[in-house]
Chain A
Amino acid sequence: MRLRVPMLVAVAVVAVVAMVLAVGCGSDGDNNTAGEPGQPAASQVLKMAWGAEPPSLDPGLATDTTSSNVLLNIMDPLVRLGDDLEPAPALAESWDVNGKVVTFHLRDDGRWTNGDPVTARDFEYAWKRTLDPKLAADYAYQLYGIVGAEAYNNAKPAQAASLREKVGVKAIDDRTLQVTLTSPQPWFVQQAAHHSFLAVHRPTVEGHGTKWTEAKNIVTNGAFKLADWKHDASITLVKNEEWRDADKVALQRVEGRIIVDGTTRVQAFEAGEVDALDGGGLPPADMPRLKQLAEYEKYPALGTYYYGFNLKNIPDINQRRAMALAIDRQSIIDNVAQADQIPATGMVPQGMPGFEVIEQDFLPTRSDIEKAREFMGKAEVAENAKHKITLFYNDAPGHKEIAVAVQAMWKDIGIDVTIKAQEWAQFLEFLGPPPSDAVYVYRLGWIADYGDPMNFLELWTSQSGNNNSRFANAAYDQLIEQARNTPDDEARYELYREAEAMLTGPEGELPFMPIYWYTYTNLERASVKDSFEINPLDQFDLSKVVIEEA
């Protein structure tokens, strides 16, 4: 009798083991139809991992990369950007730029998934909706370059209706969209590739309220349709056979799983559950191993990782020069950051149009301790040198290791650094502007919204909400304002060069010191590695992806 209970346990254990083994032996039913390597595979189903649940698939409300990339694959933008960041026709077949007036000419075969034609009115409606103070869109300011946009977004309820009429976007007819800007912004056509400038289908938006983005309600106009969206679990896209260029789209289906944790994402890839990640970054701790994989891929990004100086606490330019020269950027990349980043010598990143003109050569990629000590000596003579400073960073993977490396490098020029971590939301409040007096040095980064150096250089104007260094220079502000009104590229790049020199040139004021320019790193199976491409603005176009026989 007494043996009965252990027997039961034993039976249960055996049952579970058998179950597990049975699972292992089951085949996955891969369709291994034989084909030549490099030829398109018979099954065009891409399995990929998204790095986050899209917070919103409403073009007016989306602000993050994941939402943006889902949107740009289910909606047709006016223009699309290639790797060179030049705008290429998409839904707009052409455009004219006449000073402050930009006119887009739409194709006549744009169709919503319910069969309605896509018209210029859809764009006018969408943009004005995003600016509507009642919608309260975070990214309404992306449209502030349009005349009257900011005023409407800022309107009190009583004036809203009249200010809405004054916004400079107008559908002249079904296929002509006229936009009036506050100044001739040569980057505006490029900016129209951003998801904030997508059209929405008015009857759907008004008919379903906040639920219009659910898979069962949404009406889209892009290469893929949103077939299914299980929140926090999966996003399934299917090819839109009615799309204007559908015969050029190979993929039939994109089965996306939402995996937030970086390590889990990599494991799902390594277990063969997904064939591509979305470029949302690989865990820094795993980089040395992942870089060795044949599936590893990197793309240049338009982004600058920098350490800002609080000019109130480190007022001496020679000390800032010393600090900027003392750090070994290449060594930080090789030994700490490890994602093939590029040592940054200025605010405007490599790959940005006009970079060759703007580039400065004052800051070295390797440290120059001799020169650094010399500058530090000058600061000491002037009795301005600060030897005990604080360095603040936000508590996310990778930042601490860089801070520790920089701490060691600054010790060589006699600066004692206390490093302090803060949680992201608190950190942002703490930096102001103006930054808290406790801050001497802070970590931040900037990723481009559009491909013009303006997007980086206007950060350091005195009224900028992203200037956390207390840097204020009227000449600099004026230069940026002048550039804003200079449509000619060559002339404008020249102004940018002057601006960059005021920041990071030999006579520059160094309100910050750049560390590296970002890269996007990804894992992609050989079958899609050739066609899955991420552009410098972190966008990928699934309509170009072809699954090849491996």
Chain B
Amino acid sequence: MAAYIIRRVIWTVPVVLLVILVTFLLMRQIEGNPFRKTERAVPAAVQENLERKFKLDKPWYVQYAQYVKGVVTLDLGPSLVLRDRSVNDIVKEQFPRSIELGLYAFGWAVLFGVPAGIVAALRPNSRFDYGAMLFSNVGFALPNFLVATLLIYYVSLKWGLLPTSGWESWKHKLLPSLTLGLVPMAYFARLVRGTMLETLQADYVRTAKAKGLRWRRVVGVHVLRNSLIPVVTAAAPLLGYIITGSFIVENIFAVPGIGRYYVTAVSARDYSVVMGLTVLLSIIVILANLLVDVLYGILDPRTREART
């Protein structure tokens, strides 16, 4: 297992290098001048000064090498647009908020999605089951900008229960995290219900029941453990959803995270911010996948042998 983890971690390095290269080349491919933000033309002298300052006057491979060196020394460079701040500043100040938002969203999913799926499976075709599945379908189908708009309209404007936007107290955090957590919640509910139903039919469950094991123990130990494997597998791709979803949710709820920066940085051609955030997010996705694979091995010993 340890060897497997080490091998995977080492593989992260070429993957990140490739991510940097591809992002770097893609950003340079799209037209646009990072220093021309409005219709106002930039005088040649100003353009030259800026390019010199941000080392954009060097050949692309030199810029790439410098950037890689920066990543290795954990210096993601200055933002081309937010002139008083470096990418490190932005990440340090704003990334924790995005992580917080993502974790809460995930929390909603685990807290409500998983139990809903379990109950629905234990009492299939009951009213609760239909209700949970209807909710799941709707939650899955609604785009998050619509959910956000509806929640703000009713909860904040009509009923005045929660603030419309911002990220200060827990009151501010409820709606954005719920919006972002809705799809994972719906997904978990479906997934858990499906796998539970399958597991409940399994021979070993019948055997356990026949042996006279208490039902609670059968469900808690045998059924749940085996039903949760797909949930763990699904967690990593859901992380991708949460990241991209946060781009929109952070913008609508004025959450000062990095998600919405990502979008604005691309349109502003803020090369270093786009690069920095891409590298950061790809490392997170890679690590999350690694974590899932390790957990997978713990939950299902059969998968361990294939790797060692």
Contact = CB atoms under 8 A, between A and B. Distances in A.
A9 B267 contact: no
Contact of A423 (B161, B171, B256, B267): B267
A44 B82 CA distance: 32
Given A23-B161, A23-B162, A271-B156, A2 B49 contact: no
A138 B82 contact: no
Nearest to B108: A16
A429 B164 contact: no
A446 interface: yes
A99 interface: no
Contact of A20 (B34, B112, B162, B165): B162
B190 interface: no
A8 B163 contact: no
Nearest to A13: B112
Contacts of B251: 260-261, 264
A264 B161 contact: no
B156 A428 contact: no
Contacts of A154: 45, 48
A12 B111 contact: yes
A231 B85 contact: yes
A398 interface: no
A41 B9 CA distance: 62
Interface stretch (A56-64, A289-297, A385-393, A520-528): A56-64
A268 to B, nearest CB: 5
Given A8-B115, A23-B171, A58-B83, A133 B49 contact: yes
B128 interface: yes
Given A2-B215, A231-B93, A264-B164, A137 B267 contact: no
B165 A270 contact: no
A260 B39 contact: no
B156 A55 contact: no
A1 B122 CA distance: 12
Interface in A227-285: 230-233, 257-261, 263-264, 267-268, 270-271, 273
Contacts of B81: 55
A24 B155 CA distance: 10
B157 A63 contact: no
A203 interface: no
Nearest to A213: B84
B53 A134 contact: yes
Nearest to B94: A232
Contacts of A24: 159-161
A466 interface: yes
A264 B46 contact: no
A477 interface: no
Contact of A429 (B31, B78, B128, B153): B31
A312 B39 CA distance: 21
Contacts of A257: 165-166, 254
A55 B254 contact: no
A88 B52 CA distance: 39
Contact of B39 (A150, A429, A446): A446
Contacts of B42: 138, 465
Contacts of A445: 39
Interface in B158-179: 159-167, 171, 174
Nearest to B32: A425
B10 to A, nearest CB: 36
B41 interface: yes
Given A53-B82, A138-B42, A271-B163, A430 B256 contact: no
Contacts of A211: 84
Contact of A232 (B122, B164, B256): B256
A487 to B, nearest CB: 25
Contacts of A150: 43, 45
A94 interface: no
Given A6-B128, A9-B116, A270 B46 contact: no
A266 to B, nearest CB: 9
A425 B268 contact: yes
Contacts of A273: 163-166
A464 interface: yes
A444 interface: yes
Given A273-B164, A428-B32, A5 B111 contact: no
A21 B174 CA distance: 13
Contacts of B116: 9
A33 interface: no
A260 B260 contact: yes
B84 A56 contact: yes
Interface string A41-84: 00000000000010111100101100000000000000000000
A31 interface: no
A4 B216 contact: yes
Contact of A140 (B32, B46, B54, B254): B46
B82 A9 contact: no
Contacts of B165: 257, 259, 264, 267-268, 273
Contacts of B50: 136, 138
A12 B118 CA distance: 15
Interface string A74-105: 00000000000000000000000000000000
Given A24-B161, A261-B252, A261-B254, A231 B94 contact: yes
A259 B45 contact: no
A210 interface: yes
A157 B33 CA distance: 24
Given A8-B115, A232-B256, A56 B32 contact: no
Contacts of B149: 263
B141 interface: no
Interface in B91-116: 93-94, 111-112, 115-116
Contacts of A233: 166-167, 254, 256
Given A231-B93, A426-B31, A267 B45 contact: no
Contacts of B279: none
Contacts of B115: 5, 8-9, 12
A302 B285 CA distance: 48
Interface string B1-35: 00000000000000000000000000000111111
A268 B164 contact: yes
Given A24-B161, A141-B43, A429 B32 contact: yes
Interface string A167-184: 000000000000000000
Contact of A6 (B84, B119, B162, B171): B119
Nearest to A433: B41
Contacts of A259: 165, 254
B253 interface: yes
Nearest to A422: B31
Interface in A417-450: 423-426, 428-430, 433, 444-446
A64 B84 CA distance: 14
Contacts of A428: 32-33, 36, 39
A232 B214 CA distance: 55
Contacts of B30: 425-426
24 contacts: A2-B122, A6-B119, A20-B162, A56-B83, A136-B49, A138-B42, A141-B45, A144-B43, A150-B45, A154-B45, A154-B48, A231-B94, A233-B256, A267-B156, A267-B165, A268-B164, A270-B157, A425-B269, A426-B31, A428-B32, A429-B31, A433-B41, A444-B39, A466-B39
Given A136-B54, A153-B46, A425-B36, 13 more contacts: A5-B119, A23-B171, A57-B84, A137-B49, A153-B49, A210-B86, A231-B89, A231-B90, A260-B260, A270-B157, A273-B164, A428-B33, A445-B39
Interface of A: 1-2, 4-6, 8-9, 12, 20-21, 23-24, 53, 55-58, 61, 63-64, 133-138, 140-141, 144, 150, 153-154, 210-211, 213-214, 230-233, 257-261, 263-264, 267-268, 270-271, 273, 423-426, 428-430, 433, 444-446, 464-466
